[in-house]
Amino acid sequence: QSDEFHWENYLKETGSLGAPSECFRQSKVPPANEFKVGMKLEAHDPRNMTSICVATVVGITGARLRLRLDGSDNRNDFWRLVDSPDIQPIGTCEKEGDLLQPPLGYQMNASSWPMFLLRTLNGSEMAPATLFKKEPPKPPLNNFKVGMKLEAIDKKNPYMICPATIGDVKGDEIYITFDGWSGAFDYWCKYDCRDIFPVGWCRLTGDVLQPPGTQVPITKSIAKTQSSLPKAAPHSMPSPQKTAIILPTQQIRKSSRIKPPLHTS
Ligand code: MLZ
């Protein structure tokens, strides 16, 4: 559809380039998502990463699973890639001599946990081991450069994957800035973080890519995004986003979005 967000036009309009796929800790061909809603698996509790819990797949979105910990409420769902090291088949924990733990915020009395566990697993559909994919290797170096475009998970709204720009690079860390938003969602992360993807990821996986925000005008990069920034003092250069020429935003709006997002949160 002509009203949707299209990276091709957007990169042209903003005079920018997507970060090369080798920069990311993601498989070049996104892993197949063969999970089904209702399947059970083991997952690290995101609120208490040392404990391993039973989780149910409550949704499928691209190469990710929407997960809910059994015995927890429906307000703490989380999302994991099918090649995430945080998930594993039911039985892995026991094989390694560990015990499955109740989730943080387990609704019932702790003494009911062993029986709850038995009941929740009894007759359930357990995700077969073949559905879990191996985590891709870490790229040896941080090759991200300021100004490169990418798709990134909004950590405050983790179901959303949004168009983003590398705003800064410091050692192994990169600063993710969200296009069209004034900074409230931006964050630092390691270059090998699993929450960032090359341009085109969502199109390949069938996940939903959000359109850029409308809070701040989309700007045109004046610096070349690749290899044009001096290696010696990369941080003395203002970021291309900040020194940019303002594009005719009306035109972008028309060609890149259906309707303005709701400013609700
Ligand atoms: N409900 C929020 C979503 C913002 C998402 C921003 N992502 C970078 C809002 O509209 O403010």
pLDDT in tens, the chain (265 residues): 456 899 999 999 999 999 999 999 999 999 999 999 999 999 999 999 999 999 999 999 999 999 999 999 999 999 999 999 999 999 999 999 999 999 999 989 999 999 999 999 999 999 999 999 999 999 999 999 999 999 999 999 999 999 999 999 999 999 999 999 999 999 999 999 999 999 999 999 999 999 999 999 887 765 444 444 444 444 444 444 443 434 444 344 444 443 444 454 4
Is any atom of ligand 1 closer than 6 Å to the C-beta of 160?
Answer: yes
Is any atom of ligand 1 closer than 6 Å to the C-beta of 154?
Answer: yes
**What pTM was computed for the model?**
0.83
Structure tokens of 74?
Answer: 């429906």
How many CA atoms does the CB half-sphere of 244 hold within 13 Å? 21
Partners of residue 150 on adjacent β-strands: 164
Is any atom of ligand 1 closer than 6 Å to the C-beta of 181?
Answer: yes
Residue 20 pLDDT? 98
Which atom of ligand 1 is nearest the CA belonging to 265?
Answer: 1
Residue 247 pLDDT? 44
- Our CA angle for 153, 84, 45, nearest 5°, is 85
Is any atom of ligand 1 closer than 6 Å to the C-beta of 162?
Answer: yes
Which parts of 138-246 are beta strand (E)? 149-154, 157-170, 173-178, 187-190, 196-197, 219-220, 245-246
Which atom of ligand 1 is nearest the CA belonging to 160?
Answer: 7
**Amino acid letter, residue 245:** I
The Å distance, Cα 174 to ligand 1 centre, comes to 21
**Where does 52-97 have alpha helices with state H?**
92-95
Query: What's the rounded Cα separation, in Å, for the pair 96 and 89?
Result: 12
Nearest Cα residue to 86 out of 61, 108, 67, 105: 67
Query: What's the rounded Cα separation, in Å, for the pair 114 and 210?
Result: 42
Residue nearest to atom 9 of ligand 1 (CA): 263
Is any atom of ligand 1 closer than 6 Å to the C-beta of 265?
Answer: yes
SS3 content of the chain, % helix, strand, coil (to 5): 15, 25, 55
Nearest Cα residue to 244 out of 222, 229, 225, 228: 222
Residue 261 pLDDT? 44
Residue whose CB lies within 8 A of the most ligand 1 atoms, among 179, 186, 264, for a mutation test: 264
